[in-house]
């Protein structure tokens, strides 16, 4: 049976309007409101008991808006603040207004106040958030919708806040694990480039006065230095072009992303961290959604995008299709050959006992701790490795430059 896709409404662009008016007591008041049109501003003011006299759109800065990008951390803090206010009994619209106006990121402030206006006009919170899929994914929208339907929005907002805090924590640990190898490579390249461009030529000028044959190793290093000094611009263009081309291809080609994700899981040490982090995200996301009452098949659809790796995402989508036909989750996981035996057994116990969300939460806690321990171990391992790599490169270049001096001393 064909399924007709429902097109999501396109969000209208919001502007800042400066207004002046008279309140119920006859006092003259003024302020600013964010809306799409002047008509919306006037209607909003009348709902607040203000008779608008003047409404004008504020001019935007000529050179840029000065706005910062909305980050995952911004969304995590918003989730926790909104959950706290709802739990304290603050009405939803007022909570959005307080969090939005108090945010130090103008872009986030604009987003939240625009969502607040949609909710004020009678739109459900889940539908208001769905207009901004770049910031609020299906997982968040589904949980909010479940909370609104069950009348426990404050509880679900708290679950969203906890989920985002834990997932951001594990993302930070994975980034930390990837940063160390990259830093070793970049520092080594930087030090080697500086020596090749500025130090080796000084030795070459000194050796030219020797009038003797230089060792092969020294000649090789000098030849590389000459090449880098003469064609540095071509090398810079080639490296820049290669990086730019790779980024463009990576964004457009799913096959390339899948290949790189598959290879990354097999890298020694780092691959182990990436596997554990994907399992932790899978367990945390599924536990959160299942505990909120989201059906398993629908939950798996959102879980696929939260694993952070295309290999695991493809596996979860296959599991979703199998579970939809009546197969148990643990059996489907076993057939993928991706999930550790402990995770499969905990899932089986959860399915049999009816406590799948609790079992998966324990799995997530365990693997998040495993990722934390693995990142700390990697940090301890790479600190001396950085010294060895840089010392080896610099030492080799120093030996190459001092070999002729040692040879001359031996002849004398």
pLDDT tens for 132-181 read 888 888 888 888 888 888 788 888 888 888 888 888 888 888 887 777 77
* Mean pLDDT (the chain, rounded): 82
User: Mean pLDDT, to the nearest integer, of 106-114?
Assistant: 86
The residue with greater pLDDT, 331 or 307, is: 331
Beta bridge partners of residue 56, listed in sequence order: 18
Q: Residue 96 class from Cβ within 10 Å (0-12 exposed, 13-18 middle, 19+ buried)?
A: buried
Q: Which of 153-157, 229-233, 239-243 has the lowest mean pLDDT?
A: 153-157
User: Mean pLDDT, to the nearest integer, of 358-373?
Assistant: 90
| E strand or H helix that includes residue 47 | helix 38-47
Q: 3-class DSSP state for residue 193?
A: helix
Distance of CA 88 to the CA centre of its chain: 30
For 125-144, the pLDDT digits (tens) are 988 888 888 888 888 888 88
Q: 3-class DSSP state for residue 397?
A: helix
The band of 110, judged by pLDDT with boundaries at 50, 70 and 90, is confident
Beta bridge partners of residue 21, listed in sequence order: 29, 52
The predicted pLDDT at position 7 comes to 45
The band of 182, judged by pLDDT with boundaries at 50, 70 and 90, is confident
The predicted pLDDT at position 238 comes to 92
From residue 289, how far is each of 35, 69, 84, 367, 391 by CA, in Å?
A: 33, 28, 20, 18, 50
The band of 212, judged by pLDDT with boundaries at 50, 70 and 90, is low
- Give which of 162, 152, 163 is closest to 86, Cα–Cα: 152
- Rounded CA gap, 155 and 358, in Å? 16
DSSP conformation class of 31:
E
pTM reported for the whole predicted model: 0.69
The band of 13, judged by pLDDT with boundaries at 50, 70 and 90, is low
Q: 3-class DSSP state for residue 337?
A: coil
pLDDT greater than 60 at residue 317: yes
The band of 38, judged by pLDDT with boundaries at 50, 70 and 90, is confident
The band of 64, judged by pLDDT with boundaries at 50, 70 and 90, is very low
The residue with greater pLDDT, 277 or 47, is: 277
User: Mean pLDDT, to the nearest integer, of 370-392?
Assistant: 81
The residue with greater pLDDT, 213 or 60, is: 213
Phi, psi for 312 (deg, rounded to 5)? -70, -35
Non-local CB neighbours of 293 within 8 Å, separated by 6+ positions: 146, 150
The predicted pLDDT at position 345 comes to 93
pLDDT greater than 60 at residue 314: yes
For 333-357, the pLDDT digits (tens) are 999 888 999 999 999 999 898 888 8
DSSP conformation class of 309:
-
Q: 3-class DSSP state for residue 104?
A: coil
Distance of CA 211 to the CA centre of its chain: 59
Write the DSSP assignment of 127-176 as a string of letters.
HHHHT-TTTS-HHHHHHHHHHHHHT-HHHHHHHHHHHHHHHHHHHHHHHH
pLDDT greater than 90 at residue 89: no
Region of residue 254 (phi > 0: left; psi between -120 and 50: alpha; otherwise: beta): alpha
pLDDT greater than 50 at residue 5: no
The band of 183, judged by pLDDT with boundaries at 50, 70 and 90, is confident
- What is the chain's Cα-based Rg? 30
User: Mean pLDDT, to the nearest integer, of 50-64?
Assistant: 69
User: Mean pLDDT, to the nearest integer, of 42-66?
Assistant: 71
Non-local CB neighbours of 220 within 8 Å, separated by 6+ positions: 400
């Amino acid at each position: 049976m064909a399924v007709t896709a429902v097109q999501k409404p396109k969000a209208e662009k919001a502007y800042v309007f400066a207004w002046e008016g008279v309140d119920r007591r006859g006092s003259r008041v003024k302020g600013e409101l964010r809306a799409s049109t002047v008509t919306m501003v006037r209607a909003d003011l009348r709902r607040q008991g203000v008779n608008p006299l003047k409404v004008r759109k504020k001019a935007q800065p000529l050179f840029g808006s000065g706005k910062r990008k909305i980050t995952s951390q911004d969304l995590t803090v918003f989730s926790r603040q909104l959950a706290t206010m709802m739990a304290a009994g603050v009405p939803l619209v007022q909570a959005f207004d307080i969090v939005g106006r108090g945010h130090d990121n103008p872009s986030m402030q604009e987003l939240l106040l625009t969502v607040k206006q949609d909710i004020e006009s009678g739109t459900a919170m889940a539908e208001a958030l769905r207009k901004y899929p770049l910031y609020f994914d299906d997982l968040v929208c589904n949980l909010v919708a479940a909370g609104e339907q069950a009348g426990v929005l404050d509880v679900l907002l708290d679950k969203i806040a906890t989920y985002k805090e834990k997932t951001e924590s594990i993302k930070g640990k994975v980034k930390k694990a990837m940063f160390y190898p990259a830093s070793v490579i970049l520092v080594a390249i930087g030090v080697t480039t500086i020596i090749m461009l500025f130090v080796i030529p000084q030795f070459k000028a000194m050796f030219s006065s020797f009038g003797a044959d230089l060792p092969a190793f020294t000649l090789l290093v000098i030849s590389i230095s000459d090449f880098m000094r003469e064609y540095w611009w071509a090398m810079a263009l080639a490296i820049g072009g290669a990086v730019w081309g790779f980024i463009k291809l990576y964004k457009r080609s799913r096959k390339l992303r899948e290949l790189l994700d598959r290879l990354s899981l097999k890298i020694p040490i780092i691959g182990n961290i990436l596997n554990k982090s994907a399992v932790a995200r899978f367990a945390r996301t599924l536990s959160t959604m299942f505990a909120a009452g989201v059906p398993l098949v629908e939950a798996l659809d959102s879980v696929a995008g939260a694993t952070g790796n295309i290999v695991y995402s493809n596996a979860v989508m296959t599991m979703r299709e199998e579970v939809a036909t009546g197969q148990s989750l643990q059996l489907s996981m076993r057939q993928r050959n991706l999930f550790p035996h402990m995770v499969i057994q905990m899932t089986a116990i959860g399915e049999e006992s009816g406590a799948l969300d609790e079992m998966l939460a324990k799995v997530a806690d365990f693997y998040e701790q495993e990722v934390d321990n693995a990142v700390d171990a990697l940090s301890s391992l790479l600190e001396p490795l950085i010294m060895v790599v840089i010392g080896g490169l610099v030492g080799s270049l120093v030996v190459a430059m001092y070999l002729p001096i040692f040879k001359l001393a031996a002849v004398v």
